[in-house]
Structure 1
Amino acid sequence: MASTSTSYSPFAQRPPGHRRGRLSTSLPSYSSAVQEKLARQPQPPSWFITVVVPIPGIWSRRLRLPMLNIRRMHHFSVTRFGRKRGSLLLFLAFLALFFSAFALAKRFGTHEKKWPGPFTSDPPTLVYKREDLHRIWRWEVASGHYPSRRGIPEQLGLKTSPDNPALPPRRPTAPSTLHPTQVSGITTTRGIGTKRVYLDIQSQPPDVSYPPRPVPGSIADLDVVMEHCDFSEKKYVRDCLEVLRVGAGLDNGKRVRRGRMDTWKYIYLEQPDGWNVSKIDIEGTRHHNKRDVDLDVDADSGLIKKRGVEWETPPIALNSPRQHRPYSTLTTQCDTDNPRLFHMFWTGPFTDKPYTALLSFLFTQNTGLHLRDYPENAPCRPKFWLWINPGPAASVPNPTALKDMFEQLKSNPWASPFLHPRFRDVIQFKLWNTTEQLDGIPELKDEWRSRDTLFNSGGHIISVPPNRQQSASGSASVNTASDEETKGKNQEDDMLNRTGSKSSTSYDRLSVILSDMARFVLCHRFGGIYLDADTIFLRDWEELWGWKGAFAYRWSRLEKYNTAVLHLNKGSALGTFLFRTALKNDLDFHPMTVSKYTKEAYLENLLLRLPDALFDSAWLNTEYYQRDRPPQPYFADFSDFFDTPATQGAAPQALGFDGFYKGAFSYHFHNYWWKPFDPSRNWPDLGPQFIAGERRARAAAAGTPSTSASGQSALPELPEDSVEDDHRDLDWATVLKRTFESYIRGERPNMYGEWLQW
């Protein structure tokens, strides 16, 4: 039988017959007194401990995570600094770490990635009671501004369904089995409008070379569009564009789809036979507003008011709802309540960016320029109002600003072509005056001057000293490139004096913030649709004009607004809500903040958030979404529009305008103001009608003086162009600009086959 060792070993095997729990009589042995002394001292805990976390779905395994040991840190601080001082230092260290992380999150956090927790959540913005929100909903619905079957949030607590003249009656359905007390609020409107006839739009042989113009008065059913295009429902931009172009007949003579396409039809006409507008009970609407509030015990429960302000009082004052009139019942060319105005805001030298935007408008919209005399019974032609801020955003125009503006436009080769009499009925230049515009908004005129600043972007306020405002107002002659060059370097780099963005490092942030407010001001005062200046039209907007509801579009993957495209009805209840709410929130019109306004008031459906596929088809791709099935063309970055990668460089010339996001209404190239559309021919190329402007631009590009020593005009003759001087691979931006220019020169028709004759 083997002998048993008397030395202690944790790995010694238990002898036969050993039972768990019996104490061992073995004593430890040490090789020296030093080891024995060290073994008797208490050992500090480890710096790290292992935490075992169960793995969801795999119950047989655990995830082992190392974590910092608080006991070890406490032991270290106490042994170094004493019990009281060490504990205090440890507490202060944790406190400093927490606030450092908080500060970093506030400094570098974005709207997309917020620091979680109650300390950094955005404060509420709501200033209207539930009674006022009821009035806003009922006014918009009764005015025909809600041609949608999307639901009304039940949190509003409506007790009766509003009559909706923009929606046909529903088919009878089985009554609800819920007891009235089980329903917290009405979620639908009651359609009393005209019948909808959905159109199958196709080019008819032999006219299949170009798509047909939209039918006058036709309307895009944006509910159907949402079914095929909503990113929240995992819809692809590529598939959305196909539905948009097939449903609008843009696949003229080239349709390869077979079978019934009823679910892809999204364009309809209102059939007013037997329709009676008197069914809209305006007085009943007012009565229902009062009764809805009376039925609630706590009328404003669930609404979170902005801290530090009182509810808006007295209750919101609204005019009588508008009368919804189908297009076929109009007695005039245009509906005065819904003017077809495109607005664009511009600051700084007039460049190739607004030039190309205007050209794309002429190339796509039903302006009737191909007709010498526009018939009185022709469809309502849209107009383009280009608003020009004559100086820095913080300046005040001088008394001669309007005259100075037109003189500069005449001398600017990019702007002067649009002053031609042929365009005067469809393109107009307007002088922007901030004071005049804000005084024209009834909701703001008596109070906006009491605010500290007009420049608030997402809560980031930029203060402008009064002396800066006055000093910048001395002259409005900042609209030409030569004036910009005469400024000193220090002034040019000063954010308060910038007029336009000349590079990514000298961004005119104040003008961008001003434009965030200007788009709401223009639409609320005059009606129409606002577009950012970095927008290019890609098709006729007739069907969007027919949709009377307000809309913007989605901020890429986020459920927020991007107001680069904004439709807001003239003098609407929704506009009143937005301006009064913004006034109580320091005049913040950043699209992210506007998203909060409507969400907290349950008004999001009144400002429909359309998919960005309709106006911004490349955005998801540039943020690494849907790259498995991208649309055509595929842009991994917005700069690809101006510098198309060589691997895709054959596409622009081979496919041309028809191959560029066909089906979308517009394209938004997201700034890049400093990159020319056509680097090798960076001047307007519009033919003999506008040859003087081209000569000036080409002389400036070549560094040749355009005046003689005596001061007389001495424009050089144009050199003979050679194809070898051109870029071998033309970028998408270049191809689109040259396509629009060739239409103005009369060398090709517009996208609908209409020729411009001079």
Structure 2
Amino acid sequence: MITTRGIGPQRTYHVVQNPSQDLDTVAYPPRPISGSIADFDIILDHCNFVSGKFVRDCLEFLRTGAGLDNGRRVRRGYLDKVKYIYMEEGSDTTDLHFQQTTTPLLPAAHPTRRHGRNAGLQKKKGASWESPLSLPPSQGHRFDANPMAPCDSQNPRLFHMYWAGPFDDKPYTSLLSFLFTQNLGLQLKSSPATPAGSALTDMYQSLKANPWAVPFLHPRFKDIIKFKFWNTTEQLDSIPELRDEWRSVNTLFNSDGVSVSIPDPSPTRRRSSDGIVNRLGSKSEASYDRLSVILSDMARFIVTHRFGGIYIDADTLLLRDWEEIWGWKGAFAYRWSYHGFYNTAVLHLNKGSALGSFLFRTALKNGFDFHPSSIARYLKDAHLSPLLTQLPDALFDPAWLNTEGLQHERPPQPFFTSFSDFFSTPACQGAAPLATGFDGFFKGAFSYHFHNSWWRPFDPARHWPDLGPRFAEGERAARAAANPDGDLDSWLEEIDDDKVDLDWATVLKRTFESYIRGERPNMYGEWIRWYY
């Protein structure tokens, strides 16, 4: 038996606190310190559904340890039990107000036995063993010389998102949540905005003509949000583990045993093929776009293996800064509700990792299937499951257990029995969204996953971007499309025309928009700055 004992940099655990006495910011939580790291082992102790933990208690633990209740915390006693954020030895923590608990370094332990590379593994009859992997050297411990810097240029925080179909209010709101929560330096001085360069591609022409997309082409966001056109052939050819063999597979669109073949698009067959070839994005429950979903299952592994970073589904809203997650060096996804396999709606892989190489080679030999349950099977069969940490869904999907009929006796706030409650909040809970706002929405969770519902508008009464005079032209075009018979010149917003009880989706969209308009700060008390 091989026994190991962990060694490495010394850890200093802390509870994030806001040392500022500035009355303009004291009511807001502090930003996480750049380079801080979330201890997933401690998080699992407090949040793992399998061990009987409630999402409600997990969220309290997460927000208290991160200082999200700054200025409004109800005293619960000594905070040593909620410490899950740490800094590693070598990080400059001068003048940072931590409550410190230090863990000593441990001596190294050496394995007592050595096993052959393929010991305990079985291969299919007639198959050959895979060639040994050629991998780059592992990265050593690094830390930013400026721990308060908004971005580490040596280790950029890359979020990836895949979207098929016309750009609408779903990716729009998801990107707004990104701007509202992450440490992007938007509160710092910027150069005066200049007109964007001429678009040279059809993609950019389409984005410029789309009122939901055009705000993100503003020069203020040019180094923060980048649009890339997805070309499946180019992407597959960019992966060394696939480029020589992917053309030989029967179909690229296979997910958990469901295979989608592209019909012959010849003129005699065009009518029957239009439904699948030309449809991008789900427009209703009856027209669910299975092809785009299967392609996205593959795309998330490609972009994270090729570039590193974290992939998030487009039906995800970010609810807090992810700095402590970026500090953790391993790969992860989260648990599929109460089931044992992964949900890769959030997926982190390191660039060019051995784990990524294994998954691509295994998927190639198994019908090119990247469905989360298949990924779990590949890892389990190879005894490699610990390499892809399975985090509790409470961190990224805090309503899921409730929608499955679990934990109803002690649900978190808000209490959803169906994912549709986010878009159409039941009347009995209808006072909560407007009264508590963003601060009352699964506080402590890193994100909220609203699970498809692409056809449900975030804001039915105002189904257009509302970002102020700077983006008035796009708003006018969207209002004209939403109200083709209305008189835009005489239109005046009246509160009586709005819904009496606003739904959670509407409140979050309008909160993010008010930050871009400059009417309120973001969740950390920072105001967006457009010019010097």
> TM-score of the superposition, structure 2-length normalised?
0.89
Match of 1:685 among 460, 463, 466: 466
Identity of aligned residues (%): 64
Change (3 A) 1:339 1:586: farther
Distance in 2, matches of 1:238 and 1:743, equals 28
The CA deviation at 1:328 is 4.4
Name the residue aligned to 1:70.
none
Tell me if structure 2 keeps the 8 A contact 1:500–1:511: yes
Change (3 A) 1:742 1:273: closer
Match of 1:321 among 114, 127, 138: 138
Given the alignment of the two structures, is residue 234 of structure 1 paired with residue 52 of structure 2, yes or no? yes
Name the residue aligned to 1:224.
42
Unaligned runs of 5+ in 1: 1-183, 275-284, 375-400, 472-487, 706-714
The CA deviation at 1:202 is 2.0
Distance in 1, matches of 2:306 and 2:119, equals 34
Distance in 2, matches of 1:366 and 1:432, equals 27
Give the match's secondary structure for 2:64.
helix
Show CA shifts across 1:341-398 (max 9, x none): 0000001011000000000000000111121249xxxxxxxxxxxxxxxxxxxxxxxx
Distance in 2, matches of 1:307 and 1:754, equals 61
Distance in 1, matches of 2:420 and 2:446, equals 20
Given the alignment of the two structures, is residue 733 of structure 1 paired with residue 505 of structure 2, yes or no? yes
Match of 1:603 among 384, 387, 412: 384
Show CA shifts across 1:176-197 (max 9, x none): xxxxxxxx333x3441x21111
Match of 1:292 among 100, 114, 136: 114
Given the alignment of the two structures, is residue 257 of structure 1 paired with residue 46 of structure 2, yes or no? no
Match of 2:404 among 611, 617, 623: 623
Name the residue aligned to 1:213.
31
The CA deviation at 1:335 is 5.6
Distance in 2, matches of 1:306 and 1:669, equals 40
Distance in 2, matches of 1:273 and 1:703, equals 58
Change (3 A) 1:353 1:329: closer
The CA deviation at 1:489 is 8.7
Show CA shifts across 1:415-454 (max 9, x none): 0011011111101111111111111101001110111110
The CA deviation at 1:258 is 3.0
Structure 2: which amino acid aligns with 1:641?
F
Change (3 A) 1:647 1:568: same
Name the residue aligned to 1:199.
14
Change (3 A) 1:259 1:339: same
Structure 2: which amino acid aligns with 1:624?
G
Given the alignment of the two structures, is residue 429 of structure 1 paired with residue 227 of structure 2, yes or no? yes
Name the residue aligned to 1:645.
426
Distance in 2, matches of 1:718 and 1:414, equals 23
Given the alignment of the two structures, is residue 753 of structure 1 paired with residue 530 of structure 2, yes or no? no
The CA deviation at 1:691 is 0.4
Name the residue aligned to 2:244.
446
Show CA shifts across 1:470-504 (max 9, x none): 99xxxxxxxxxxxxxxxx99666x23331111001
Give the match's secondary structure for 2:286.
coil
Tell me if structure 2 keeps the 8 A contact 1:528–1:570: yes
Distance in 2, matches of 1:203 and 1:643, equals 36
Q: Which has the larger radius of gyration?
A: 1
Tell me if structure 2 keeps the 8 A contact 1:241–1:662: yes
Distance in 2, matches of 1:421 and 1:309, equals 54
Give the match's secondary structure for 2:292.
helix
Change (3 A) 1:538 1:333: closer
The CA deviation at 1:340 is 1.0
Give the match's secondary structure for 1:356.
helix
Residues 168-567 of structure 1 aligned to structure 2 (within 5 Å): 184-186=1-3, 188-191=4-7, 193-204=8-19, 205=21, 206=23, 207-272=25-90, 292-293=114-115, 300=118, 302-306=120-124, 309-312=127-130, 314-328=131-145, 338-373=155-190, 403-465=201-263, 467-468=264-265, 494-567=275-348
Show CA shifts across 1:63-111 (max 9, x none): xxxxxxxxxxxxxxxxxxxxxxxxxxxxxxxxxxxxxxxxxxxxxxxxx
Structure 2: which amino acid aligns with 1:459?
G
The CA deviation at 1:595 is 0.4
Given the alignment of the two structures, is residue 721 of structure 1 paired with residue 486 of structure 2, yes or no? no
Give the match's secondary structure for 2:206.
helix
Show CA shifts across 1:15-64 (max 9, x none): xxxxxxxxxxxxxxxxxxxxxxxxxxxxxxxxxxxxxxxxxxxxxxxxxx
Residues 6-25 of structure 1 aligned to structure 2 (within 5 Å): none
> TM-score of the superposition, structure 1-length normalised?
0.63
Tell me if structure 1 keeps the 8 A contact 2:30–2:67: yes
Name the residue aligned to 1:57.
none
Distance in 2, matches of 1:576 and 1:729, equals 50
Name the residue aligned to 1:28.
none
Q: Which has the higher contact order (CA 8 A, sep 6+)?
A: 2
Residues 563-712 of structure 1 aligned to structure 2 (within 5 Å): 563-704=344-485
Tell me if structure 2 keeps the 8 A contact 1:499–1:508: yes
Give the match's secondary structure for 1:431.
coil
Residues 44-193 of structure 1 aligned to structure 2 (within 5 Å): 184-186=1-3, 188-191=4-7, 193=8
Structure 2: which amino acid aligns with 1:196?
R
Distance in 1, matches of 2:431 and 2:124, equals 55
CA RMSD of aligned residues (A): 2.6
Distance in 2, matches of 1:458 and 1:273, equals 44
Tell me if structure 1 keeps the 8 A contact 2:242–2:361: yes
Distance in 1, matches of 2:175 and 2:399, equals 21
The CA deviation at 1:303 is 2.5
Tell me if structure 2 keeps the 8 A contact 1:529–1:568: yes
Change (3 A) 1:402 1:730: same
Structure 1: which amino acid aligns with 2:466?
D
Distance in 1, matches of 2:506 and 2:125, equals 51
Distance in 1, matches of 2:273 and 2:76, equals 63
| Matched pairs, number | 502
Give the match's secondary structure for 2:161.
strand
The CA deviation at 1:604 is 1.3
Give the match's secondary structure for 1:345.
coil
Tell me if structure 2 keeps the 8 A contact 1:217–1:328: no
Change (3 A) 1:360 1:602: same
Tell me if structure 2 keeps the 8 A contact 1:695–1:717: no
The CA deviation at 1:273 is 8.4
